[in-house]
A = this chain, B = another copy of it.
């Protein structure tokens, strides 16, 4: 039995080549002609491109998201009678690069040394290190676990927060979301890699943010809507020793007039901490496709009730 695959990505040509190399049995890749939207039973798709086409997809059986974040597909009244899988396990290493690039640059004062170099100035600055500092990671899935292992490699103490408080060996200890207000005050670095769900929406509000240490670092790499940006901005103005590292926002792109762009203790990047790399996505898709045609359970299945 043949399966018809619809590609909905910004790199369709790249995906087409990578998929051809996989030689997946019985898989026909549809051209970009719109007539195939209603006929394809498998979609390999970016959620934002898939969402408007969902009402036109009677044949859709399985969608492999090319992104980790699938919250757009959880919107009310969108169909949910298909199998949805996302990509996991490939973003941890990239997010660790992004996060520790910023943390190490900050703690080891690279920008100040750069300025000194411009002036030809040979002068050691006061020494600081990540060793012994306390990182609190919101989200203990594959990304949170990888960040925890990197933090431990750099000698940090690492606490995780998840829905149930379930323990994971990558963390020194884990707490449930209901304990967040208690543990947030103890960390030096707060990192959110939470998905967007009703539980996480504006979780980091003015009240909780106010509990952070006066020189805490806050990094949001998960979803923009878990953080109250306006409250954070106000707080950053009054606590200049704090630093925010923000890769995700409530509205993306971040509006050009948003004051966070010009906030001296905020670092803004355009949602690039862990780009979906096509060859890694294709490897996950190919593995899942072979399971799909053998009617085995797929990897990284999304639970529409939980929303991730």
Q: Which A residues contact B (CB, under 8 angstroms)?
A: 93-94, 96-98, 100-102, 104-105, 107-108, 110, 113-114, 116-117, 120, 122-125, 127, 129-131, 149-150, 153-155, 252-254, 256, 261-262, 267-272, 275, 277
A106 and chain B: residue at smallest CB distance: B101
Q: Are B261 and A93 interface neighbours, CB within 8 A?
A: no
A104 contacts B97, C-beta separation under 8 Å = yes
- Residues of chain B within 8 A of A116, CB atoms compared: 270
| Alpha-carbon gap, A129 to B95, bound state (A) | 11
Candidate in A114, A116, A127, A153 with the most chain B CB atoms within 10 angstroms: A153
Nearest-CB residue, chain B, relative to A254: B122
Assembled-state Cα–Cα distance A123/B261 (Å): 13
Q: Which residues of B contact A252 (CB under 8 A)?
A: 122
Q: Are A117 and B275 touching (Cβ within 8 A)?
A: no
Q: Which residues of B contact A108 (CB under 8 A)?
A: 97-98, 101
In the complex, which of the residues B97, B120, B155 contacts A154, with contact meaning CB atoms closer than 8 Å?
B97
Q: Which 10 A-B pairs have the closest CB atoms?
A: A101-B104, A122-B253, A122-B270, A120-B256, A120-B261, A117-B268, A101-B108, A127-B275, A124-B272, A113-B269
State whether B107 touches A97 (Cβ < 8 A).
yes
Q: A101-B108, A104-B97, A104-B104 are in contact. Are A123 and B154 (CB under 8 A)?
A: no
Q: What are 23 A-B contacts with C-beta separation under 8 Å?
A: A97-B104, A97-B107, A97-B130, A97-B154, A98-B108, A100-B100, A101-B107, A104-B104, A105-B105, A105-B110, A113-B269, A113-B272, A116-B270, A117-B261, A117-B268, A120-B262, A122-B252, A122-B253, A122-B256, A122-B270, A124-B275, A150-B153, A153-B153
